Amino acid sequence: MNSTARPIQPRKRDAIPLRVVEAAGLQPASPTPPAPAILQATDVYKSYRRNRHEVPVLRGCNFAAASGKTTAILGQSGSGKTTLLHLLGTLDAPDRGRIEFDGQRIDNLPRTARDRFRNRQLGMIFQFYHLLPEITAFQNVLLPMMIHAGFRGYLRHRRQYRQRAQELLERVGLLHRLHHKPRELSGGEMQRVAIARALVAGPKLLLADEPTGNLDRQTGQRILDLLDDLNREEGLTIVMVTHDESIAQRCDAVVHLADGKTVEV
Protein backbone atom coordinates (compact mmCIF):
# COMPACT_ATOMS: atom_id res chain seq x y z
CA MET A 1 0.00 0.00 0.00
CA ASN A 2 2.72 2.41 0.86
CA SER A 3 4.35 3.91 -2.11
CA THR A 4 7.94 4.83 -1.54
CA ALA A 5 7.97 7.10 -4.55
CA ARG A 6 5.81 9.67 -2.76
CA PRO A 7 7.47 12.46 -0.85
CA ILE A 8 5.78 11.58 2.38
CA GLN A 9 7.45 8.59 3.95
CA PRO A 10 5.99 6.66 6.83
CA ARG A 11 9.26 7.32 8.59
CA LYS A 12 8.51 11.02 8.40
CA ARG A 13 5.22 10.50 10.10
CA ASP A 14 6.90 8.58 12.85
CA ALA A 15 9.08 11.60 13.45
CA ILE A 16 6.16 13.15 15.23
CA PRO A 17 6.41 12.22 18.89
CA LEU A 18 4.31 9.32 19.84
CA ARG A 19 3.98 10.24 23.48
CA VAL A 20 0.62 11.80 22.76
CA VAL A 21 -0.74 8.39 22.10
CA GLU A 22 0.15 7.28 25.58
CA ALA A 23 -0.92 10.56 27.03
CA ALA A 24 -4.36 10.05 25.55
CA GLY A 25 -4.57 6.82 27.43
CA LEU A 26 -4.43 4.73 24.31
CA GLN A 27 -2.26 1.82 23.48
CA PRO A 28 -0.64 1.58 20.08
CA ALA A 29 -2.67 -0.68 17.85
CA SER A 30 -1.70 -4.26 17.97
CA PRO A 31 -1.39 -5.63 14.48
CA THR A 32 -4.01 -8.32 14.18
CA PRO A 33 -4.30 -9.88 10.74
CA PRO A 34 -8.06 -9.82 9.91
CA ALA A 35 -8.58 -6.11 9.20
CA PRO A 36 -9.71 -5.04 12.65
CA ALA A 37 -12.23 -2.30 13.23
CA ILE A 38 -10.15 0.72 14.15
CA LEU A 39 -13.26 2.73 14.92
CA GLN A 40 -16.40 1.22 16.29
CA ALA A 41 -19.69 2.57 17.55
CA THR A 42 -22.00 0.25 19.44
CA ASP A 43 -25.68 0.93 20.09
CA VAL A 44 -25.27 4.69 20.16
CA TYR A 45 -28.13 6.94 21.15
CA LYS A 46 -28.09 10.68 20.87
CA SER A 47 -30.81 13.26 21.05
CA TYR A 48 -30.79 17.02 21.03
CA ARG A 49 -32.96 19.38 22.90
CA ARG A 50 -34.68 21.97 20.78
CA ASN A 51 -37.03 24.34 22.55
CA ARG A 52 -37.74 21.85 25.33
CA HIS A 53 -38.49 19.15 22.79
CA GLU A 54 -36.33 16.09 22.85
CA VAL A 55 -35.32 15.40 19.25
CA PRO A 56 -33.83 11.94 18.91
CA VAL A 57 -31.15 11.79 16.24
CA LEU A 58 -29.43 8.47 16.75
CA ARG A 59 -31.40 5.55 17.98
CA GLY A 60 -29.23 2.53 18.58
CA CYS A 61 -26.78 3.07 15.80
CA ASN A 62 -23.96 0.61 15.15
CA PHE A 63 -20.94 1.36 13.08
CA ALA A 64 -17.48 -0.02 12.39
CA ALA A 65 -14.69 1.19 10.18
CA ALA A 66 -11.96 -1.23 9.15
CA SER A 67 -8.39 -0.09 9.54
CA GLY A 68 -6.81 1.12 6.33
CA LYS A 69 -10.11 1.15 4.47
CA THR A 70 -12.47 3.85 3.33
CA THR A 71 -15.94 3.70 4.76
CA ALA A 72 -18.87 5.79 3.62
CA ILE A 73 -21.80 6.71 5.82
CA LEU A 74 -24.65 7.19 3.44
CA GLY A 75 -27.99 8.65 4.35
CA GLN A 76 -30.62 11.27 3.74
CA SER A 77 -30.49 14.69 5.24
CA GLY A 78 -31.53 14.41 8.86
CA SER A 79 -30.70 10.75 9.10
CA GLY A 80 -28.10 11.55 11.75
CA LYS A 81 -24.96 10.89 9.77
CA THR A 82 -23.23 14.14 10.71
CA THR A 83 -24.14 13.60 14.35
CA LEU A 84 -22.64 10.15 14.17
CA LEU A 85 -19.49 11.61 12.69
CA HIS A 86 -19.29 14.17 15.50
CA LEU A 87 -19.66 11.42 18.04
CA LEU A 88 -16.96 9.38 16.31
CA GLY A 89 -14.75 12.46 16.39
CA THR A 90 -15.48 13.07 20.13
CA LEU A 91 -16.83 16.49 19.39
CA ASP A 92 -19.93 15.38 21.20
CA ALA A 93 -20.71 12.58 23.61
CA PRO A 94 -23.45 9.97 23.04
CA ASP A 95 -26.33 9.66 25.47
CA ARG A 96 -25.93 5.91 25.48
CA GLY A 97 -23.70 3.34 23.83
CA ARG A 98 -19.96 3.26 23.35
CA ILE A 99 -17.44 4.38 20.83
CA GLU A 100 -14.10 2.69 20.59
CA PHE A 101 -10.95 3.63 18.79
CA ASP A 102 -8.26 0.99 18.52
CA GLY A 103 -10.07 -1.07 21.12
CA GLN A 104 -10.18 1.80 23.62
CA ARG A 105 -13.33 3.51 24.67
CA ILE A 106 -13.12 7.19 23.74
CA ASP A 107 -16.60 8.58 24.40
CA ASN A 108 -16.15 8.79 28.13
CA LEU A 109 -12.62 10.13 28.21
CA PRO A 110 -11.99 13.28 30.19
CA ARG A 111 -12.13 16.43 28.16
CA THR A 112 -8.39 17.04 27.97
CA ALA A 113 -7.83 13.48 26.77
CA ARG A 114 -10.48 13.93 24.11
CA ASP A 115 -8.89 17.23 23.05
CA ARG A 116 -5.59 15.41 22.70
CA PHE A 117 -7.20 12.54 20.83
CA ARG A 118 -8.70 14.93 18.31
CA ASN A 119 -5.43 16.71 17.99
CA ARG A 120 -3.20 13.69 17.49
CA GLN A 121 -5.18 10.67 16.31
CA LEU A 122 -7.81 12.24 14.20
CA GLY A 123 -8.11 14.44 11.17
CA MET A 124 -11.38 16.07 10.26
CA ILE A 125 -12.54 17.82 7.14
CA PHE A 126 -15.85 19.51 6.63
CA GLN A 127 -18.21 20.52 3.90
CA PHE A 128 -17.49 24.18 4.51
CA TYR A 129 -13.74 23.61 4.96
CA HIS A 130 -13.69 25.46 8.29
CA LEU A 131 -10.39 27.21 7.83
CA LEU A 132 -9.58 30.19 10.04
CA PRO A 133 -10.04 33.23 7.83
CA GLU A 134 -7.50 35.40 9.62
CA ILE A 135 -4.41 33.35 8.88
CA THR A 136 -2.72 31.97 5.79
CA ALA A 137 -3.11 28.49 4.36
CA PHE A 138 0.28 27.58 5.73
CA GLN A 139 -0.59 28.77 9.22
CA ASN A 140 -3.90 26.94 9.04
CA VAL A 141 -2.03 23.75 8.33
CA LEU A 142 0.35 24.44 11.20
CA LEU A 143 -2.51 25.11 13.60
CA PRO A 144 -2.83 21.56 15.03
CA MET A 145 0.91 21.52 15.66
CA MET A 146 0.71 24.85 17.42
CA ILE A 147 -2.14 23.59 19.57
CA HIS A 148 -0.24 20.43 20.29
CA ALA A 149 3.17 21.82 21.07
CA GLY A 150 2.46 24.92 23.07
CA PHE A 151 4.50 28.07 22.78
CA ARG A 152 7.95 26.82 23.66
CA GLY A 153 7.53 23.39 22.16
CA TYR A 154 6.45 24.96 18.92
CA LEU A 155 9.44 27.26 18.86
CA ARG A 156 11.76 24.35 19.51
CA HIS A 157 10.36 22.12 16.76
CA ARG A 158 9.39 24.94 14.50
CA ARG A 159 11.51 23.89 11.51
CA GLN A 160 10.35 20.33 11.66
CA TYR A 161 6.69 21.38 11.80
CA ARG A 162 7.06 23.89 9.04
CA GLN A 163 8.74 21.36 6.83
CA ARG A 164 5.98 18.88 7.49
CA ALA A 165 3.30 21.45 6.71
CA GLN A 166 5.06 22.45 3.55
CA GLU A 167 5.38 18.84 2.44
CA LEU A 168 1.71 18.24 3.05
CA LEU A 169 0.71 21.31 1.11
CA GLU A 170 2.94 20.12 -1.68
CA ARG A 171 1.29 16.73 -1.46
CA VAL A 172 -2.13 18.29 -1.96
CA GLY A 173 -0.73 20.42 -4.77
CA LEU A 174 -0.84 23.83 -3.13
CA LEU A 175 2.81 24.73 -2.84
CA HIS A 176 2.12 27.93 -4.76
CA ARG A 177 -0.65 28.97 -2.34
CA LEU A 178 1.25 28.74 0.94
CA HIS A 179 0.81 32.33 2.05
CA HIS A 180 -2.63 33.04 0.77
CA LYS A 181 -5.51 33.69 3.09
CA PRO A 182 -8.46 31.27 2.75
CA ARG A 183 -10.61 33.94 1.08
CA GLU A 184 -8.06 34.13 -1.73
CA LEU A 185 -8.41 30.42 -2.45
CA SER A 186 -11.01 28.55 -4.46
CA GLY A 187 -13.31 26.00 -2.82
CA GLY A 188 -11.24 23.05 -4.00
CA GLU A 189 -8.06 24.70 -2.78
CA MET A 190 -9.59 25.40 0.59
CA GLN A 191 -10.63 21.78 0.94
CA ARG A 192 -7.08 20.72 0.05
CA VAL A 193 -5.74 22.99 2.75
CA ALA A 194 -8.24 21.45 5.15
CA ILE A 195 -6.99 17.99 4.20
CA ALA A 196 -3.39 19.03 4.75
CA ARG A 197 -4.37 20.44 8.11
CA ALA A 198 -6.16 17.24 9.04
CA LEU A 199 -3.09 15.19 8.23
CA VAL A 200 -0.39 17.37 9.70
CA ALA A 201 -0.30 15.58 13.04
CA GLY A 202 -0.02 12.21 11.30
CA PRO A 203 -3.37 10.67 12.32
CA LYS A 204 -4.45 7.17 11.40
CA LEU A 205 -8.02 8.23 10.89
CA LEU A 206 -9.63 10.89 8.76
CA LEU A 207 -13.24 11.86 9.27
CA ALA A 208 -14.77 13.69 6.35
CA ASP A 209 -18.15 15.38 6.50
CA GLU A 210 -19.47 15.82 2.97
CA PRO A 211 -16.06 16.83 1.71
CA THR A 212 -17.35 17.51 -1.80
CA GLY A 213 -20.73 18.85 -0.79
CA ASN A 214 -19.86 22.37 -1.64
CA LEU A 215 -17.77 21.75 -4.75
CA ASP A 216 -18.60 21.25 -8.39
CA ARG A 217 -18.40 17.76 -9.72
CA GLN A 218 -14.95 18.01 -11.28
CA THR A 219 -13.30 19.60 -8.26
CA GLY A 220 -15.08 17.15 -6.02
CA GLN A 221 -13.71 14.29 -8.07
CA ARG A 222 -10.19 15.59 -7.64
CA ILE A 223 -10.63 15.85 -3.89
CA LEU A 224 -11.94 12.30 -3.79
CA ASP A 225 -9.03 11.14 -5.90
CA LEU A 226 -6.67 12.75 -3.45
CA LEU A 227 -8.37 11.01 -0.56
CA ASP A 228 -8.15 7.72 -2.40
CA ASP A 229 -4.45 8.29 -2.98
CA LEU A 230 -3.90 8.99 0.69
CA ASN A 231 -5.78 5.87 1.59
CA ARG A 232 -3.88 3.73 -0.84
CA GLU A 233 -0.44 5.13 -0.40
CA GLU A 234 -0.38 5.84 3.30
CA GLY A 235 -2.92 3.44 4.67
CA LEU A 236 -5.09 6.20 6.01
CA THR A 237 -8.44 5.06 7.35
CA ILE A 238 -11.13 7.33 6.01
CA VAL A 239 -14.70 7.64 7.22
CA MET A 240 -16.72 9.80 4.91
CA VAL A 241 -20.22 11.10 5.36
CA THR A 242 -22.12 11.68 2.16
CA HIS A 243 -25.59 11.65 0.71
CA ASP A 244 -24.27 10.93 -2.78
CA GLU A 245 -24.60 7.31 -3.78
CA SER A 246 -21.94 7.55 -6.50
CA ILE A 247 -19.38 8.84 -4.03
CA ALA A 248 -20.26 6.12 -1.57
CA GLN A 249 -19.70 3.55 -4.23
CA ARG A 250 -16.05 4.50 -4.48
CA CYS A 251 -15.48 3.44 -0.87
CA ASP A 252 -14.50 0.05 0.40
CA ALA A 253 -17.54 -0.19 2.61
CA VAL A 254 -20.83 1.65 2.86
CA VAL A 255 -22.95 2.04 5.96
CA HIS A 256 -26.50 3.12 5.36
CA LEU A 257 -28.13 5.31 7.93
CA ALA A 258 -31.84 5.99 8.17
CA ASP A 259 -33.80 7.45 11.06
CA GLY A 260 -30.82 7.25 13.35
CA LYS A 261 -30.15 3.61 12.77
CA THR A 262 -27.83 1.67 10.58
CA VAL A 263 -29.77 -0.31 8.05
CA GLU A 264 -28.82 -3.20 5.85
CA VAL A 265 -29.46 -2.68 2.19
Partner 1 sequence: MYRWLLCWRYLRTRYIALASVVSVMLGVATLVIVNSVMDGFTAEMQQRMHGILSDVIIESHSAHGLPNYQDTVAKIRQVVGEELAGITTVVHVPAMVSIDHRGETITRQINLIGIDIESYADVSDFSKYLLHPENQKRIGFDLKEDGYAPDRPGFPESGWKYRRLKAAAEKQLRAMQLAYEQEQERNRLLRAAIEASASGSSSANTAAELSVGSPVTASDLPPTPRDQADGAAEAPHDGHGLAFPELPAHLRSNDGDDAAPSGKSSSATTSPRTGATPGAEQSLPTPGPSVDAVATLDSDQAKVFDPEVDQHEGIVLGISIGSTRYRDAAGRVTDYYYVRPGDDVLVTFPSAGTSPRAINERFTVVDFYESKMSEYDATFAFVPLDKLQQYRGMSSDAVTSIQLKLRDGADLNAVRDRLRAEFPLELMVQVSTWRDLQGPLLAAVQMETTILNILLFLIIAVAGFGILATFFMIVVEKTKDIGILKSLGASGSGVASIFLGYGLLLGAFGAGVGALAGLVFVANINTVADMLETITGQEVFDPTVYYFETIPTLVQPMTVVWVVVGAVLIAVMASVLPAMRAARMHPVEALRYE
Binding residues vs partner 1 (CB under 8 A)? 86, 89, 91-92, 111-112, 115-120, 124, 126, 130-135, 139, 143-144, 146-151, 154-155, 197
State the minimum distance, in angstroms, from the CB of residue 151 to partner 1. Answer: 5
- Of residues 205 and 254, the one with the C-beta less far from partner 1: 205
State the minimum distance, in angstroms, from the CB of residue 96 to partner 1. Answer: 18
- Of residues 46 and 69, the one with the C-beta less far from partner 1: 46
State the minimum distance, in angstroms, from the CB of residue 31 to partner 1. Answer: 26
State the minimum distance, in angstroms, from the CB of residue 35 to partner 1. Answer: 27
Residue 33 has a CB neighbour count (10 Å cut-off) of 5
Cβ-based burial of 265 (10 A; exposed 0-12, middle 13-18, buried ≥19):
exposed
CB 212 within 8 A of CB 223: yes
Residue 214 has a CB neighbour count (10 Å cut-off) of 16
CA dihedral in degrees (72, 201, 95, 42; nearest 10)?
Answer: 50
d(C-alpha 241, C-alpha 75), whole Å: 8
Residue ranges with strand state E in the chain: 37-50, 53-66, 70-75, 96-101, 104-105, 122-125, 205-209, 237-242, 253-258, 261-263
State the minimum distance, in angstroms, from the CB of residue 256 to partner 1. Answer: 23
End-to-end alpha carbon distance in the chain: 30
